[in-house]
A and B are shown apart, each in its own frame.
Chain A
C-alpha cells in the first residue's frame, strides 16, 4: 500500500466553535481499497472531521486534497458529486418512499422531465444485486429492517460513483448477523478499490474489518496505525489518554472499608436487568454510601444502564429490588418515588428546560413530586435555591435568568441542585463533568465524596478513568453493551487494569469471565 497515492489527504485541519477547539491541526490520509477506522472518544473530533470533509462545516485552517486536487466542498451534495459519499448513523432516507425512489431521489432517470419508472426500478434492482441484496424495490423502504435500509443507503452512496465512502457508525442499530452482512459488502467494495472511512465505537468491529486506524483525542491527532500493529489495549489507551491530573489536590476516595459498606443492606439490587437492543442483562448492587463507578467506552452501554435504573427506558428483562423489596422501575416517576435521581449526560435535551429560569429549573423535580396543586411557597423556593446556588457556587448567582444563558459547568450544577433538593438516596450521574472546566469538575467531584460520606449511594458514569478511579468504591466495567465485570477499587486497581479489562473483554481474575 505504501507505494500508492492516497485518494484523500487532509492536512493540518483546524476548526473552532465558540468556546471549543474541535479540531486542532489534524492530518488524515486515506488510500484507495482500504477500510480505515476513525477512532476516538466522544468529543474527540471524529464527526467534526467528517463534516469538514463533506463540507457541512467550513474549516478554519488546513487543506483537503482529493485525488491530487485541492478541494473545499460547500456541502454534502457537492462532496457527493465529487465522489465523497456519506452514510450516516441514523438512516437518513425516506421510509415512506419505495426502495427505488430512495436510491434515485433527486437524480431520477428522466425523459422530457417525466420519470422513467421502469428503468429506475431495473437499475435499483441491479445495484442492490451487486450488494447481494434481492428485495422488491417497489416496496416502501420502511417495511424493511434497519439493516436492509442501511444497505440501501450504501447502495445509494456508491451509485454516485463514490471514490470515498464514509460510514458514520453504521452498525449501532444492527445485530451480529446484520453486521456480518454489512462487513461482507464493505470488503467487496474495498476490493473494488473504494476507500472506506469507518466510524464506530465497537472495538471488535474495528479489528474485524479495518486495515488501518486513525485515533483522535480532544481534537488532536494521536496517530495513524496499521490495525495489525496496534493491540486493543494500546488503542484504548490512545483513545482515552492520560490527562495530566490537575485535580490531584482531591484526596483519594475509596479508602473507606468497602467490606463495611457492602455489609449494609443494599439500597438497590438489579438482577439480570436488560432491554433488547439497548443493554444485555446485567446484575448490579448498590449500597447506601457507596459510589459505584461505571467505566467503559462511549457506546458501551453505560447510559443505557443508568436509564434502566431510573425507569427512563423500560426494562424487558430481569428484576429490581429497592431496600430488599422487589419493585418495578416502570417510569421516572416510579424511580423518583424510590428516591432515585438521574442527571442525564444530555443536559440540554434531557436535563434542563432552557427558557425557564435557574430557580424554576432547580425546583422542578421537587415541584413535580408535590403535584402542581401544592406549589412550593416562594419563600421556601428562594431559600432552597439560594442555598444551592451558594453551596455549588452557581455563576452568575442570579436565579431569575434563563438557565440556557449559563455556561455548561453551571448548567450541570443547576441540574445537580434540582436533584439534591429532593434528597435522593441514589444519585445517578451520567458524565457530570463532561465539557465543563477544571474548577467546576473538581467541585463536582468533591461533592460526590461528601454526598456518599453522608450516606447517599452514587452511580458515577464517566469516560475519564482517572475520575472513576478516584471516586468509586467499586467499578463496573462495560463493553459492547454488556457489563463484563465488577472490580473492587482497592490498591490493585489502576487505570491500566481497567483499560486492560475494557480491551480484552474479560476479567482475568473474576469468575464472571
Chain B
C-alpha cells in the first residue's frame, strides 16, 4: 500500500508528469471531437494521420528548442533563432533559385552548406557579444533578432523567393521509410546534441556554469568558451529548422519564416522542466514541450476554433500547464488534507547566510 503510494508520488512528482498529462488530455479531447483523430493510415507507402502531421510540423520547433535548451541551461537566452531561421532559409533558397537546374542535388547541398555556414556566423556573433563583450544575453540576441530580419530581406532583396526544387522540398515534406523526412532530421539532430552533451563532459559543464557561474570559474572552467559554443549550437539548430520551414512552402519569406518561433521554443524548454535561471537541462523534456505546443496548434485548427480566439485558447492551456508545474502553486492546492507539501517547501530554501 505504502510502496504503491510512494511509487505514485514518484510518478506525479516527476518534472514531466504534468506536461505528459496535458499532452494526453489534448489528444483525448481531439479524439472525442473527431473520433478518427488518432487513426493512422498507409497511402502510397506513406503514413498519413494527425499524429504524423504533429510530429512533422513539430520538427522545426524541436530543433530550435534543442539549441535553446543549452543556451537557457547556461543561464542565457537566444531571441535571435527566428531570424536565423529566416536567414538560413533565405540564403539556401536564393542559391537554389540561381541554379540552372533547381533539382540538381549538388546545388541543393551547396545551398544547405551556405545556410549552415551563415548560421555558424550568426551564432558566433551572438556568442561573441555575450561571452567576450559581456552583453546581457537578452539584449545581445535581441540585436540579431531585429537586424536578422533585415539581413534576410537583403538576401531576398525584399521579395519572396519561390523555388521549385524537389530535393530541397523533401527536407520539409519528403518521406523516408513511410515517415516524413523532417521527423528523421529532428531525431538525428536530437541524437547528435544528446551525444555531444552527454557523451562528453559538455552537458555537465554547461549545467555547472548555469548552476553557479562563480564556483565554475573558481573550479577552472573556461565558461566563456562554453557560452560561446552554446550560442553557435543554437544558431545551427535554428538554421536547419529554417530549411524545413522554407522547404514546407518552397519559398523564402524574410519576414514570415520562423516568426515568433523563439517564443514557442522558450516555452517548450520551460515546459520541459529546464529552469530559466540555468542549471540542469532536459533535452527530452524540451522535445515533449515542443510536441505539446504543436499538438495545441493542431488542436486549434482541428477544432475549428476561430482565429480570433485561437491565441487566447493557446494562452489558457499554456498558463494552465505552467501553473500546474510550479511547486508553489501545487502546494497551495494540495495543502488541504495532508498539510505536508507546504512545509517542506519552506525548508527547501535553506537560509543562505546563517547570519554573520
A356 part of interface (Cβ distance < 8 Å):
yes
Residue of chain A at shortest CB distance from B212: A353
B184 to chain A, nearest CB (A): 27
Near B by CB (< 8 A), chain A positions 320-349 give 331-333, 336, 342, 344, 348-349
Task: Check B336 for interface membership: any CB of A closer than 8 A.
Answer: no
Neighbour of A367 across the interface among B204, B211, B350, CB < 8 A:
B204
Asked whether A365 is an interface residue with its Cβ less than 8 Å from the other chain, the reply is yes
Residues of A within 8 A of B335 (CB): none
Q: Is A454 an interface residue (CB 8 A)?
A: no
Cβ A360 vs Cβ B220 within 8 A: no
A344 and B200 within 8 A (CB): no
CB distance from B197 to the nearest CB of A (A): 9
CB of B212 within 8 A of CB of A368, answer no
Q: A360 and B279: CB pair below 8 A?
A: no
A336 near B201: Cβ-Cβ < 8 Å:
no
Q: Which A-chain residue is minimally distant from B208 (CB atoms)? A: A353
The stretch that binds B, out of A46-54, A62-70, A110-118, is A46-54
- Contact (Cβ within 8 A) B218 A344: yes
| Residues of B close to A350: CB separation below 8 A | 214-215, 218
Does the CB pair A368–B205 fall under 8 Å? Answer: yes
Q: Are A375 and B199 in contact (CB under 8 A)?
A: yes
| A45 touching B350, Cβ below 8 Å | no
Say if the beta carbon of A72 comes within 8 Å of chain B. Answer: no
B218–A342 CB distance below 8 A: yes
CA distance A372 to B350 in the complex (A): 32
Q: Name which residue of chain B comes closest to A169, CB basis.
A: B356
Give residues of chain B (207-252) contacting chain A, Cβ–Cβ below 8 Å.
Answer: 207-208, 211-212, 214-222, 226
Q: How far is the CA of A310 from the CA of B222 in the complex (A)?
A: 15
Pick from B211, B214, B216: contact of A354, CB under 8 Å? B211
Asked whether B214 lies within 8 Å of A349 as measured between CB atoms, the reply is: yes
- B211 and A356 form a contact (CB under 8 A): yes
Query: Which residue of the partner chain B has the closest CB to A15?
Result: B355
Interface pair B220/A369, CB less than 8 Å apart: yes
Measured CB to CB, the closest approach of chain B to A429, in angstroms, equals 14
Contacting pair B220 A332 (CB below 8 A): yes
Inside 8 A of B22's CB, which chain A residues have their CB?
none
Closest-by-CB residue of B relative to A370 is B201
When the two chains form their complex, are residues B204 and A356 in contact, meaning their CB atoms are under 8 A apart? Answer: yes
Q: Given A356-B204, A356-B207, A367-B205 in contact, is the A47-B355 Cβ separation under 8 Å? A: yes
Interface residue? A208 (CB, 8 A): no
Most B Cβ at <10 Å: residue of A351, A367, A418? A367
Q: What are 24 residue pairs bridging A and B, where the CB atoms are less than 8 Å apart in the complex?
A: A18-B347, A22-B354, A43-B355, A44-B356, A45-B355, A46-B356, A332-B217, A332-B220, A333-B220, A342-B218, A344-B218, A350-B215, A351-B218, A354-B211, A356-B211, A360-B207, A360-B208, A364-B219, A368-B219, A368-B221, A370-B201, A373-B201, A374-B200, A418-B219
- Additional A-B contact list (18), CB under 8 Å, known A332-B217, A332-B218, A368-B219: A20-B354, A22-B354, A22-B355, A43-B354, A45-B355, A47-B355, A332-B220, A333-B222, A352-B215, A354-B212, A355-B279, A356-B208, A367-B201, A367-B204, A372-B226, A376-B201, A418-B219, A435-B354
